[in-house]
Amino acid sequence: MATKNKLFLGLFIHSKALNELEYLHDTAVGVDKEGKITIVERDCDEKKARETVLPRLGWKDAEVEVVKAKEGQFFFPGFIDTHIHAPQYPNAGIFGNSTLLDWLDTYTFPLEASLSDLAKARRVYTRVIHKTLSHGTTCAAYYATIDVPATNLLADLCYARGQRALIGRVCMNEPYTSPTNYRDESAEASLAATRASIAHIRTLDPTHTLIQPIITPRFAPSCTFPLLVQLGALAAETALPIQTHISENRAEIALVKTLFPRAVTGAADDSYAGVYDAAGLLTGRTVLAHAVHLTAGEAALVARRGAKVSHCPGSNTALGSGAARVRRLLDRGIVCGLGTDVSGGFSPSVLEAARAAVMVSRHVVFMGEAAPAGGVGEDREREKLSVEEALFLATRGGAEVVGLEERVGRFAVGMEWDAQLVGLGVVGEDGDAVGDEDGGDVDVFGWETWPDRVAKWVYNGDDRNTKMVWVKGRLVHARK
């Protein structure tokens, strides 16, 4: 919890709509001790804020902490990573030429299994939380491992460090695809372990102020159908969110067809989405990672069920999975956010994921076969995502994906203060940097419009531009 009322002053930028950023210049935002935004006052400098805003809020001048955005700085909503594997962080960048299924066997399962060593888990989890916060990730939907104590430790560490998180104990019991030393003994054992982790997280944070559990079947090929069904029932019983992977890679899709024939699932077809639907796992609180190769029929089913998609462009490129056509999903009304998918993705930065989303959307255009625009004709160019759209996905889209759109993702009264102070480099008349702030690779000469500065941040920014980060009003990172 934040300890003091806070007043933030300067420029605030957030998404107003999918393709529109709003620039709130000379604005004051008040945040109370609970971390909630109590006022957004435009045309307000520090003097006016102290003379009129503070008295209105009943806050005493001396008891308020004031944070001002300097020249070249702005407040932006914290990023939401809708898909990240905390235990895989040490493998970020290590994937060679592998593709999904051999990558899981070679790199991923051995590392995840080794994190039942709690000292190792603590080391890895402490680092990934620190690293993501330093890149402005205020909320993450984490996959942990099958190990309950290590999963609970991840929840404890997020809570203590102040990162908002959904924590999923990974379920996998299919002997054909899971190694003997890293799988649940049975569907019942998987369910019991999941319940144990849910109970721990609920004790830690009973009202989900910061941390909440998320039901996590790894992906269909890792689970027997009875386990998928039991997890679907658990989700219905607890009203908890669900996260899993879908249609990331063609070999994976073929595997699903082999493992889940209609005779097993009773589904109308043998599609991947149909398997999840038959198990009751396709709900309005389901986060589906990837969705690269969904058929039109599957996309329509996902849209009907209100399930959400975590787009992970960096991972899809690194593992050679394919290029997701995000515009098609958005056009169907499917809510999308961004995921780093560490360590299928090599970068823990959501800003990097936003950049990758923009790039991949361009590659989709080069690849041809355009999405029908409004059902008629072709307009390939429409598949391109703008900088504004990528930033929407990174914040408001992500918030909706994880069911937190009423709490985070933009600056408005009643929302919680999950935010980052972004600082760009300011170039002086002599060509040297002004001041001692490190602007990283983003050099602003002063003649650029604010939309152009934001574009420079998206294309060239990194954690050097992430100066301060708050979650629920609490300062959780300050760049040294």
| Contacting residues toward Zn ion, per CB under 5 A | 341
Residue type, 352: E
Pairing relation of β-strands 79-85 and 137-143? parallel
Stretch that binds ligand GUN, among 100-108, 259-267, 377-385, 398-406 (CB under 6 A): 100-108
- In the complex with ligand GUN, the residue whose CB is nearer, 100 or 141, is 100
Map the footprint of ligand GUN across residues 323-342, applying CB under 6 A: 341
Q: Within 13 A of 60's CA, how many CA atoms are on the CB side?
A: 3
Tokens of 460: 């060239």
- In the complex with Zn ion, the residue whose CB is nearer, 21 or 139, is 139
Which residues 6+ apart lie within 8 Å of 278 measured at CB? 265, 266, 267
Compute the least distance from the CB of residue 343 to ligand GUN, in Å: 8
Compute the least distance from the CB of residue 304 to Zn ion, in Å: 24
Integer angstrom CA distances of residue 79 from 60, 328, 385, 430: 32, 23, 18, 35
Tokens of 321: 């999975």
Torsion sign over Cα 264, 267, 272, 276 = negative
Compute the least distance from the CB of residue 179 to ligand GUN, in Å: 13
Compute the least distance from the CB of residue 81 to Zn ion, in Å: 11
- In the complex with ligand GUN, the residue whose CB is nearer, 75 or 182, is 182
Q: Which of 76, 219, 346, 411 binds ligand GUN (CB under 6 A)?
A: 219
Q: Which of 344, 398, 423, 425 binds ligand GUN (CB under 6 A)?
A: 344
Q: Rule CB under 6 A: is residue 305 a binding residue for ligand GUN?
A: no
Nearest 10 degrees: Cα torsion 442, 77, 32, 7:
30
Compute the least distance from the CB of residue 88 to Zn ion, in Å: 8
- In the complex with ligand GUN, the residue whose CB is nearer, 329 or 342, is 342
Compute the least distance from the CB of residue 207 to Zn ion, in Å: 28
Integer angstrom CA distances of residue 179 from 45, 108, 165, 197, 438: 61, 11, 28, 22, 46
Map the footprint of ligand GUN across residues 67-96, applying CB under 6 A: 85
Pairing relation of β-strands 64-68 and 73-77? unpaired
State the residues that interact with ligand GUN by CB under 6 A: 85, 100, 104, 108, 218-219, 245, 248, 315, 341, 344
